[in-house]
Chains A and B, each alone.
Chain A
Amino acid sequence: MRFIQRAKSDAARRLPAEAGSHTNPGRKTLLALALPLLTAIAIAAQGRVTTEKLLKPSPDSWPTFNGDYTGRRFSALTRITNANVHQLSFAWMYRIATGTAGATIKSTPLMVDGVLYFTVPDHVWAVDARTGREIWHYQWQTTGGNHLGNRGVAIYEDWLYVETPDCYLISLNVKDGKERWRKQICDIDRFYYASAAPTIVKDHLIVGVSGDDFDIPGYIQSHHPESGEVQWRFYTVPQKKGDAGMDSWPNEDMAKHGGGMTWQPITYDPELNYVFVTTGNPQPVIAHKNRPGDNLFTGSIVAVNADTGKMVWHFQSSPHDTHDWDSTQPAVLIDDEANGQKRRLIAQAARNGHYFLLDRTTGKAIVSSEYVKGNWSKGYDAKGQPIPDPEKMPQIAGALVSPNQGGATNWQSPSFNPQTGLFYVSAARAFSIYYIYDPSENPMGWGGSDRGGWSESMLQAIDYKTGKIRWSHKWEGNAARSGIVSTAGNVVFTGGASNDLVALDATTGQALWHSILNTSISNGPITYELDGRQYVVAAAGDTVWTFVMNTLVK
C-alpha cells in the first residue's frame, strides 16, 4: 500500500474562474472574498455527511452517485438555463497522473463541502471543486483483477468508501485520504472484480460485484459503514434448493453459477425501505444450451428490503438473455399522480432496447415499450416482459441481431426530468452478428460472441408515462459513452460525438452549446452550486473539465 499526498499537483493545470460580476452585495460577497479560509474550515469542520443530508441533498452538493437516491440525475438548479448556457465559462481542468496509460475517469464525482471526490481503478482523488487544486490522492497497491473501470465513491459521516479491482472495499478519511479499513468483498481467483460505486443507505453500506468472464453468481452485500462488518448478502441467482427462482434454471449447479452481476449502484425508496438492484446477464453468456428457462434473477430489477437483504419483488427486463445485455441500468424512482391517485413508479431503459415503467411497490409493469427499435423480441408476456425470439439467439452460422453486444444503452447514466416529464437515455441503434463458438451441450463462460457491426447513436427523450419517444437527437458519428444530467434550468448536459460536452434544450432537444475537449466524455456529468455560481463537471479520459456560470443572479 502506498499513500501519496501532494500539497501541489504538477499534474493539474488550472485556470482561475473568471472574476465575474459580484452583483450580490453583503453576505455572498463576503463569502466569496473569504473563500480560501472558508474552504479550509469547510473541509475540517463540515465534512459530516448524515443520512438526512443524503435523503435531501442540498444544491451545493452531489453526495451520491446519482445525486440523490432516486437515480434521476436531475438538478433543481436554475442559474444555468437554456437561454444563457452559451455563456458558460471554462473554470478549470484537472488531469490525473496514475502511471498507467489509458486510465479513464468513468466515475461520477461526488461533491461535498466544496470538494470533489472521484476515481479510476486503484486511485481516489480529492480536488477543490472551485479551483481544481488537488487536496489528496490515494493509490491502492493492486493484486490483480479487471481494471476496466471504477464508478466512484460513497461518502458518509467523515468517510469515503471505494471498491478495488481486486475485490476490496476500502474506507478512507475524507480529510486526508488515509485508509481506515479494508474488507474483501469478492474473490479474484473466481474472476470476480469490483468496480461499482458503493451506496450508503442509513447504516448500510451496500456494494455490488462485477465479472462476467466466468460462471459465477452475482450478489449485493451490505456492510456496516463504521466497522465494515457484513450485515447481509443477497444473491441474484438461486444458490440452493428451495431458493426463489430455482424453477427458472435446469438444475442447482447452473443456477449457482448463473451470473447476474451488480455493477451499477442501487437506487432507494426510504418510505418503502426498498433498495432497487439491477442485475447483469446470465452465465454462460452467449452459448446458452445448458440453461433453458428464464434464468432468474438475471437481467432484472429486484426490490430488496434495505435492512434484511430479502427480496420483495422482481421484474425481468431481459428473460433468458443470450446477448450479454445486462439490465444493470439504474431503476429510476418517479412520483406522480394519475386519476387523483399518487403513484410510486420506477423506470428503466434497459440495454436490450426496452423501456419499462413499473409500480415500485409491487413491481407490476405499467408500460413496456421499445425506445430503440430492435429485432430480437416478439412482443411482451402477461407481465410486460419481452419475449425473446429463439431465431435471434446466437447461432452457429450467425444471427443478425439488433442491438449489438454494446446494447441500446449501457452503463451511461440516464436522467429523468420531472419538469419536462422526459426520461433521457444515451442510446444506440446497432447491429452485429451473434455466433455460437461452443456448440456443445454443456458450454461454459462465453462460448460465443458477436462480430462486426454498424451503429448510430442518439439521445432519446422518452415520455416517461407512455414510453413514446418525444424527441430523438441523433449524433453525427458515434457519441461519447456518457451519462446525462438534466436541470430545472431546462438544460440537458451530455457527451457528444465530437469529443464535446454538449448542452441541449431539455424540452426540445435543440443543441445549444458545446465545448470540444481532449477526448470523449467518459463519465456522467454533474452540476452543483457554490458561492452563487453553478458549475458543470464532466470527465473526458484522464481529465476532469469544469465549467461555470459566473453571472450571479440578483
Chain B
Amino acid sequence: MRHVWNGAVGIVLLTATAVISSSGQTPPAGRGQAPSGPRPNVGAADRHRVDPAGADRGRKTYAAECVTCHGPSARGTERGPNLVRSEIVLRDRYGNSIGPLLKKGHPMQTGASGASLTDAQITDLSHFIWQRINDTLRGSDVFEPGDVLVGDPKAGEAYFNGEGKCAACHSITGDLAGYGKRYQPIDIQQRFVFPNTAGGRGRGRAAGSSRQQVTVTVSLPDGTTSSGALVSMDDFHVALRTTAGEYRSWTRTPAMKIVKTEPLAEHVELLERLTDKQMHDVVAYLASLK
C-alpha cells in the first residue's frame, strides 16, 4: 500500500494525532490526471471541481500549517475542528469562503498568521480540502479493497477437494492452472463467489460466457422436443436458440414440459452455506496457484 502522504508530511503524521484514512490508501491509476469530484449529479451544479495539481500543492501548505490541528485527513483533532464536515468549507469554492477566514489572521502551526497566505495558496488549500471531502463520498475513487489474503491456503485446499466439492468440476492443472498468476486476490474472491458477474463491481448481471449459458429443453404434448440456450422465459412464453442457431419461441401451456439447466447452480447453492472463513481460505488457496 502506497501512502499519499510522503516526505515531510509523513513526519508530521507521526507527531500529529494520527488519523489514517481512506486517503492513506493507494490511489488507483489515473488519479491525479483529471479533475476529480463527486458523482456528477451530487451536490450543487457549481460545486468545487478539484484540480489535482492544485491539491498536491495545497497538501504541502496543509502539512506545514494545518495538519497538527485539523488532522491528516482534515477530519479534525482535539485541537481543531473537522474541515470535511465544516459548512464553511462545504460552501467554499476555490477559496472564496475559507480565504476571508484565513485572512482574518487564523493561527497556523508554524506561528505564522493565515493573513500571510497568498490567494494562490488558499485556492490550492481549497483543492486539497475538497479532495478530502470527495474521498469520503459514495463511489470515491480512493475506495479500493484492502488485503483479502487473510485465509489459510491449506484449509482452502482441503475445502476445495472435500466439503466444497470444487474438484468435481474444476482442476488446478486444468481450468484453474496458474490462477493466482492470472488474477488479483480480490478478483479471485469475486470470481469464485460470483462467477455470474465475473468479479464485477456492484449489482452486476450475468457475464454470459458460453460455459455459463443456461439451457432449456421444451417438450410439447405432441412429443416433439427442442433444446438450446435459453433466450427468455416468463410465465407466458419461452424462447431458445438451438445449437444450429435457430431461434424458437412458444406460448406456454400447462401441457408443455420445460426443463431448465443452470450450469452455475452449484455456485448458487454454495452462497447459502459458504462461511467467510471458507471463502477466505479458498481464495488463499487459489491465489497460491502460481
Contact = CB atoms under 8 A, between A and B. Distances in A.
Contacts of B279: 398, 400
A511 B90 contact: no
B45 A440 contact: no
A117 interface: no
Given A191-B43, A446-B137, A399 B276 contact: yes
A305 B282 CA distance: 54
A293 B140 CA distance: 26
A498 B138 contact: no
Interface stretch (B14-22, B50-58, B107-115, B171-179): B14-22
Contact of B22 (A397, A441, A447): A447
B22 A437 contact: yes
B25 interface: yes
Q: Is the interface of A mostly helix, strand, loop or mixed?
A: loop
A444 B84 contact: yes
Contacts of B137: 191, 213-214, 445-446
A409 B199 CA distance: 23
Interface stretch (A138-146, A150-158, A224-232, A241-249): A138-146
Given A213-B38, A440-B19, A440-B73, A398 B189 contact: yes
Contact of B235 (A284, A398, A496): A496
Interface in B173-214: 189-190, 193-194, 196-197, 199-205
Given A190-B87, A437-B144, A514-B236, A446 B136 contact: yes
Q: Is the interface of B mostly helix, strand, loop or mixed?
A: loop
A431 B21 contact: no
Contacts of A441: 19-20
B117 interface: no
A142 B20 CA distance: 38
B45 A144 contact: yes
A127 to B, nearest CB: 26
A438 B132 CA distance: 13
A253 B84 CA distance: 13
Contact of A398 (B135, B148, B233, B272): B148
A165 B280 CA distance: 42
Nearest to A473: B235
5 contacts: A144-B44, A400-B276, A405-B203, A431-B193, A496-B235
Interface of B: 19-22, 24-25, 38-39, 41-47, 73, 75, 82, 84-85, 87, 90-91, 133, 135-140, 142-151, 189-190, 193-194, 196-197, 199-205, 232-237, 267-268, 271-272, 274, 276, 279-280
Interface of A: 142-148, 165-166, 188-191, 193, 212-215, 253, 257, 284-285, 375, 391, 395-400, 402, 404-406, 430-433, 435-455, 475-478, 496-498, 500, 502, 511, 514
Question: Which 10 interchain pairs have the tightest Cβ spacing?
Answer: A445-B136, A144-B45, A511-B235, A438-B22, A452-B194, A437-B143, A144-B44, A444-B136, A498-B234, A396-B146
